[in-house]
A and B are shown apart, each in its own frame.
Chain A
Amino acid sequence: MDSTTALFANAIVAGLLLGGFYAAMSVGVSISFGMLDVVNIAHPAFILLGSYIAYTMNDRLGLDPIAVSVVLSPLFFVLGAGLYRVYYLCFEQRGQESLRGLAFFFGILFITEVMLVLVFGVDYRMSKTAYADTTWRLDALDFPMRLVVPFLVSMLMVVGLQLFLSHTFFGRAVLAVAQDPLALRLMGVNPIRVKERAFALSIATAGVAGAFLIVIQPVQPAIGREYIGLVFAVCVLGGMGSIWGTLLGAFVLGLAESFTSTFFGPSWAPAVSFGLLLATLAFRPAGLLGR
């Protein structure tokens, strides 16, 4: 392979691996925003919280960040359930979710960030894992393990979620609550409880995605904000509330960012997600796989 082809092929590989990670970050928003209509812009804050918990466990006890996050995901589930309770009682019930609910989540995002700054400081933190520094090579293609491991676990999580939502009673109830909560009530299911659990599930995925983040790159409290545009771009690009759409959107964005940083320089990469988001909103608001 000559060097241009190799550069091109490596950009594709890196983009796909990155896309897998983006899917893990965005799948929670796809559930909360896409299906439940809860605009949780604080989602990246929970991703960072997951990063720092995984970091602490890794730093103090030498545990693997991703394994820790999977074991601790019930904790995030409970946190999410509690958060939805507050949101429901204070905003949804009173019909004030559009303005004050958004401001509420913005405040939560801000508080989490400042708390992390106060506890951990503004220095970049990294995790130490056995596989982080190894790279698997195939001809001229590089497969850095710090991207491959999160990619594989992320695929498991996203595909698992899709199967869970499409094949279980609870999953169908979530899809139903997205369409018509009143009909759900008439069928004898409490839509609030369904939404609470589904929202809790979305926060649990944020915790796991946080562990991926700290395996992939060093983390600092303020980087959460940069991902708000990204997760919503993926969610809107793929089509609201469709998990397969989210996966597709994540790959498109991963490839776009990878090509931008390969050919224009990494400092331009953050602008890609916003460009895609605006283009989607302007030309196809329903998203790629949207109805």
Chain B
Amino acid sequence: MTNRVFAAVAFAVAIAFAAVTQLISNEYYFTAAYTVLQFVILATAWNILGGYTGYVNFGSAAFFAIGAYSSVVLYNAFKAPLPVMIVAGTLIAGLAGLGLGYLTLRLRGVFFAIASLALAVVLYTFVVNWDYVGGARGAYVLQPSEVPFGLPRYVHLLYIAMVLMSALALIVARTIETSTLGRGLAAIRDDELAAECSGVPTLRLKIVSASVSCALMGMAGTTFPYFLSYVEPSSAFNLSYAVNSIAMPLIGGMMSWVGPLIGAVLLGSVQQLVQVTISSAWNLLIVGVLLVAFVTLAPNGIMGWIDLWRRRGRG
């Protein structure tokens, strides 16, 4: 399937899915599905740098929060419309990824990982001290009273935006995967020195990969303030975003765009169930245990099992 056909199919499926699910009368579905889709974007975005390039980003929460807080700033400044918020947050997060990548991707891979983790702490400190966006108290971002397209509630609009953004993230991931860029990234992942010697411009490709990945993470956060109507630093910088966006691709499989999608839908749905039936602390424990279990026992994730099963089927 060429990239254009895939993009058309993905958007068609997304629109059809969003339209059909409007028939669901249970309002809880939209809140739950929004959260799961948010993880689909984060996991897909993480995988562009983590799975394709082999560089670990622990700062997903930081880039997510950049997206969320850029929306808060735009809301406070001139009640910007939703599409403007989405585009601005995506660009700013991408620029942050570019900067971090430029500073640390020249060094050994682990320095990028540590710097991304530390970035989350510093941005958190910065936001806590920044009164314009509410500081530690948090900020209210009220949903507009008029909902466009004749939708019953604003969360339906956010849900549709999330479906479309997820489709976009998957299209970007697949396009990278099948392009020359993707082959360059795979070469870096498998042996960076050999790639460099074969003329792959490793630093440039890594920075591109980091920027795209971080931009998509920011995109996932842009609608977050409207979704909750209230943003405070510890919810926007929640560590569960960081751990989930690593756990989901690892559990699903990191070699293609399908893995993070499977991981996010499975793990995201399980968490929604556990959160409702047991408690959110157990919920996080389950993610942590699954992450460690998969990474030690099934390093190729669920897609690895499927590949194995297919190969056996062929004999």
Contacts and interface: CB of A to CB of B under 8 A. Distances in A.
Interface stretch (B15-23, B109-117, B151-159): B109-117
Interface string B114-126: 1101110110111
Contacts of A114: 281, 284-285, 288
Contacts of B50: 99
Interface string A245-260: 0000000000000000
B274 interface: no
Interface in A225-245: 225-226, 228-229, 232-233, 236
Interface residues of B, number: 41
Contact of B114 (A111, A115, A277): A277
B114 A96 contact: no
Interface size class of A (residues with CB under 8 A): 35 or more
Given A270-B122, A278-B103, A229 B250 contact: no
* Chain B facing A: main interface SS: helix
Contact of A39 (B113, B247, B285, B296): B113
A63 to B, nearest CB: 29
B129 interface: yes
Interface in B16-45: none
A41 B114 CA distance: 8
Contacts of B55: 99
A118 B126 CA distance: 29
A187 B110 CA distance: 30
Contacts of B124: 270
Contacts of A103: 56, 246-247, 250, 291, 295
B63 to A, nearest CB: 15
A115 B54 CA distance: 29
A285 interface: yes
Interface string B270-301: 00000000000110110111011001100100
A5 interface: no
A117 B250 CA distance: 25
A111 B286 CA distance: 9
A3 interface: no
Given A104-B296, A229-B114, A99 B129 contact: no
Interface in A261-288: 267-268, 270-271, 273-275, 277-278, 281-282, 285
Interface string A104-121: 101110110011011000
A273 B295 contact: no
B291 A271 contact: no
A110 B239 contact: yes
A271 B285 contact: no
A98 interface: yes
Nearest to A282: B103
A102 B125 contact: no
State the 8 A-B residue pairs at the shortest beta-carbon distance, nearest first.
A229-B118, A107-B292, A110-B288, A107-B291, A111-B288, A274-B122, A274-B118, A114-B285
Given A114-B288, A225-B117, A267-B125, 20 more contacts: A90-B296, A99-B50, A100-B299, A103-B56, A103-B246, A106-B291, A110-B287, A110-B291, A115-B285, A118-B281, A226-B121, A228-B114, A228-B121, A229-B117, A236-B114, A268-B129, A277-B114, A278-B104, A281-B111, A282-B103
18 contacts: A39-B110, A90-B295, A98-B54, A98-B110, A99-B56, A103-B56, A103-B246, A103-B250, A103-B291, A107-B289, A110-B287, A114-B284, A222-B239, A236-B111, A268-B129, A271-B121, A273-B118, A277-B118
